[in-house]
Structure 1
Amino acid sequence: MPVNPFLDPKLVHGDLYRSSGRLAERTRALREAKIAGRDAADVIVDLVAQRTPPGAVVLDIGCGRGTTTLRISTRLRPRRLIAVDASTALLATVRTRLAEASGTGSTICADFHHLPLPDALADAAVAAFCLYHSPTPAAAVAEIARCLRPGGIAVLATKSLDSYTELDQLVQTADLDPDAACRPSLYESFHSRNLVDIAATHLTVLNVLHEEHVFEFADATHLARYLATTPKYRIRAAGGPTGLAAILRERLPAPPYLTRSTVSYALAARP
């Protein structure tokens, strides 16, 4: 079985998040392709707002480029907002985005299995689209629970095991990666089906939402922009996204190219 790149420490702490550019381009390509599904950051902030009092202390664990961090800052105006990520490059992007939006918040570079934060610090915590980077996501949930005050809430977000699998067949049909269809899901350690069980190891699950997102890549160039940034495949193509697009145009049926993902959210509380 091929190694899952989202669980490979060398990749996670190396090429995937050494800079923010790759993640930004992947996110941009998906956002432009989306034709159905609510904005995930809006859903997360809505869930936090349901159970979090004014003047709260909020943690954004595995904050990435800070899209949810920024939304928390501008909509909830917490008394204290702490964004945590293991990538210094991504945290630099978070600080820039907060400053440009006149938002407030601090950043900490840390592994979410070992948060350098005191017990019972926070009223709310978010861990969005990050726990699938852990081979032991329950251990990260335990750390999040430790940092919450009794009754404090957490919003955990992830994707389904079969997210974007339609692209596997396209990549294989184009002979860009002959093993595309048998590569493991990027989300295999923490996904829509095991979300509740893992959350419940240290938290009380209050509510779960599952929403289908649908994406339509308009042409080969658009699809190539996404495929060039995803670590799932071992694509054999020279010339970057431009060369990849040329191969896709030659070998695939006419566009558009559709794919789907289930996005799942658990709202949970520290007992």
Structure 2
Amino acid sequence: MSANPFLDPALVRGRLYRGDGRLADRTHALHRAKISGSDVADTIADLLAARVPTAADVLDIGCGRGTTTLRLADRLRPKHLAAVDASAALLHTTRGRLADAGALGSGVQADFHHLPLPDSAADAAVAAFCLYHSPTPDKAMAEIARCLRPGGTAVLVTKSLDSYAELDHLVHAAGLDPHATSRPSLYESFHSDNLRTVTASHLTVLDVQHEEHVFRFADATHLARYLTTTPKYRITLTGGIAAVTATLQQRLAPPPYTTRSTVSYAVAVRP
């Protein structure tokens, strides 16, 4: 079992993504807290729109619940849009959201190290907030490059190693996890500092951009809703959100609670 839950295959296949509830709750809590930073799906669509031809073939690798997939469908109007994820539950959600929006797209259940796609199948590929689940992201990058046509564009997105580090100290101070400040970053395998190097292992990097996102949790309940969805900490307290909320209220200074994350984008092409 890996010390980093994002690199533990059993956890990734099981508790983390067997259903879509945990990811939905985590995303909702973060979006409610966000006070600064661009919409990531919009930024990805903007980066691709200037480079991708009309009627393109587009891949959204590690599509999750399909937020970026929907934005790509709307902005790029691709000839074919394939949403790829290892989780059947997340793909089911993405397919449903595409259908509800009247958008065309297909779902492919696959490990991004072994994409069931032919060589040179796509004009563009996105891999956002997913490659840090790989202990060997350069191998996943090789698959992305293989699936792109020569001159095809990839947008890769990740976070900094110290993302949400302020929460480590809050969790430690509240006694919810005495080792919170020493646990490895969830993003240790693919992060803002190695994004360019890993991408350049198989693609030609055109640009790398970094943007700070700031989050403010308005009260202890809001923070507890986020903390109970993140796999980084070992919170053994029973009683769920209510118990975590009570502990935060008793042991921390009054809210709000602010944290930060750097979101990084690489734009690259297949030579």
- Give the TM-score range, shorter chain: over 0.9
State the secondary structure of the residue aligned to 1:175: coil
Aligned residues: 271
TM value normalised by structure 1: 0.99
1:135-174 to 2 correspondences below 5 Å: 135-174=135-174
**How far has the Cα of 1:236 moved from its partner?**
2.4
RMSD: 0.9
2:258 maps to 1:258 = yes
Cα deviation, 1:223-258, whole Å, max 9, x if unaligned, reads 000000000000121111111111111111000000
- The residue that corresponds to 1:23 in the other structure is 23
Q: Which runs of 5+ in 2 are unaligned?
A: none
Within a 5 Å distance, the mapping from 1:153-232 to structure 2 comes to 153-232=153-232
| Structure 2 Cα separation of the partners of residues 41 and 84 of structure 1 | 16
Quote the Cα distance in structure 2 between the aligned partners of 1:48 and 1:21: 29
Q: Does structure 2 conserve the Cα–Cα contact (< 8 Å) formed by 1:211 and 1:262?
A: yes
Identity of aligned residues (%): 70
Cα deviation for residue 2 of structure 1 reads 6.9
Does 1:129 pair with 2:129?
yes
Cα deviation for residue 101 of structure 1 reads 0.7
Gaps (5+ residues) in structure 1? none
Q: Distance in 2 between matches of 1:73 and 1:265?
A: 20
d(CA) in 2 for partners of 1:101, 1:244: 37
- 133-142 or 237-246, which moves further after superposition? 237-246
Equivalent residue letter for 1:111? D
Residue 116 of structure 2 is matched in structure 1 by 116
Q: 1:163-210 deviations in whole A, cap 9, x for unaligned?
A: 000000000000000000000000000000000000000000001110
Cα pair 2:49 2:75 within 8 Å, conserved:
no
Superposed CA offset, 1:38-87 (max 9, x none): 00000011111111010000000010001100100111110000000000
Distance verdict in 2 for CA 1:2–1:172, change over 3 Å: farther
- CA distance in 1 between partners of 2:138 and 2:212 (Å): 25
AA partner of residue 81 (structure 2)? L
1:2/1:184 contact within 8 Å kept: no
